[in-house]
Every structure is written in structure tokens, then in C-alpha cells.
Amino acid sequence: MGYHVTEHYTWLDSTINAAMILGGMGPVDHVNTTAGKLFASFYALFSGIFFIAIAGIVLTPITHRLLHTLHVDERE
């Protein structure tokens, strides 16, 4: 919705730009307005931080179980 409002892209172009940012490849179309550039910057930062947070939440129990299995927390 951000690209549709700030850059007046069609819904399809807005979706492809958002998907490419989420995929890490960056926007497809050139961003012209200041509002569009700010939106693209904040959207990229938000999606990156969100991805790292979700990956941490998902991987923490797996890593915890692996460390217990390998007896890493026990001292000799």
C-alpha cells in the first residue's frame, strides 16, 4: 500500500516492489518522490529487522535443544 500511495504505482507494481524488498533484491522501479524514498527505506529496515527477529524466535528452541543434546552446558 505504501508504494501505491507514495509513488502512485499500480497495485501489481506495488506488490512486486514490496516482494523484491522482502526478498532482499531491492525495488524494481525507480523511486522518485521523497515520500517514496522514505517509505522504501523504512520498509526495507523494518522487513530486515522483522526477519531477524522471527528467525531468532524460530531458531532459539532448536539451538537450545541441540546444546542440551550435546551436553554443552555441563562442566567437567
Please report the pLDDT score of residue 29 as a whole number.
Answer: 86
| 17 Cβ neighbours under 8 A, 6+ residues apart | 3, 9, 27, 28, 29, 40
User: Does residue 26 lie within any of the structural domains?
Assistant: yes
pLDDT in tens, 11-21: 999 999 999 98
User: Does residue 40 lie within any of the structural domains?
Assistant: yes
Please count the structural domains in the chain. 1
Domain that holds residue 53: 2-69
pTM: 0.68
Q: Which helix (H) or strand (E) holds 61?
A: helix 34-69
pLDDT in tens, 30-42: 889 999 999 999 9
User: Does residue 74 lie within any of the structural domains?
Assistant: no
Q: How long a stretch of residues is the chain?
A: 76
User: Does residue 20 lie within any of the structural domains?
Assistant: yes
How far, in Å, CA of 9 to CA of 37, rounded?
14
Q: Is the pLDDT score of 76 beyond 60?
A: no
User: Does residue 51 lie within any of the structural domains?
Assistant: yes
